[in-house]
Amino acid sequence: MTVLYVIACGSPVARDVGRLITLGQKKNFNVCLVPTESARPFLDIPALAELTGNPVRSTFKHPGEPDLLPLPDAIIVAPATVNTINKWAAGAADTLALALLIEAHGLGIPIVAVPYTNSAMARHPAFQESLVRLKSWGVRVLYGDEVVKLHPPRAAHRADFPWHLALRALGEGWEA
């Protein structure tokens, strides 16, 4: 079975990550959820662990401990926050999620990112440069009004997040 890592970042949209997990499972993915620490307060960790059948991990394992998750065949980062996008593009690996993304790039694992932010944060030059950088590295970045419209600050909208597009962006045979 193909292994899909879902990296969810700290956003109200993360509450609905179960939708992506379910879509992935319908496509016969073994889905493993790796939320950032900032995402955890938005999530029902026990329910998502039960849904995936895998432990939900946010932190590095201790030396000598076995890996609890199988190696990924593909990764989706959704919702991807400005913080994660910028740190990832800068090469930071100070969290499990970022370290997995850095390693996946080196292994040639397909990665899809669906940034989610507000209109003010989206205008920051570092964020725009980070999106360009990630795309130049082969990351499939789904961003723009045709994906999900930017919202004003403090006015997040969860209902129209394009979970299905994230899975479709992985390519032929993995479409939702």
**Strands across the sheet containing 140-141:** 29-33, 2-7, 74-80, 111-115, 140-141
The model's pTM is 0.94
CA–CA distance from 167 to each of 41, 65, 67, 83, 125 (Å)? 24, 31, 25, 22, 28
Residue 154: pLDDT band (50, 70, 90) is confident
pLDDT tops 50 at residue 98: yes
Could you please state the CATH topology (level 3) that the domain comprising 2-153+160-168 is classified under: Rossmann fold (3.40.50)
Per residue in 119-150, pLDDT (tens digit) is 999 999 999 999 999 999 999 999 988 898 88
Q: Mean pLDDT throughout 62-76?
A: 92
CA distance 28 to 40: 25
Per residue in 33-55, pLDDT (tens digit) is 999 999 999 999 999 999 999 99
pLDDT at residue number 175 = 42
Q: Could you give the percent of the chain with pLDDT greater than 70?
A: 97
Main-chain dihedrals φ then ψ at residue 140, nearest 5 degrees? -85, 100
Q: Is 47 exposed, middle or buried (0-12, 13-18, 19+ CB in 10 A)?
A: exposed
Q: Mean pLDDT throughout 83-110?
A: 97
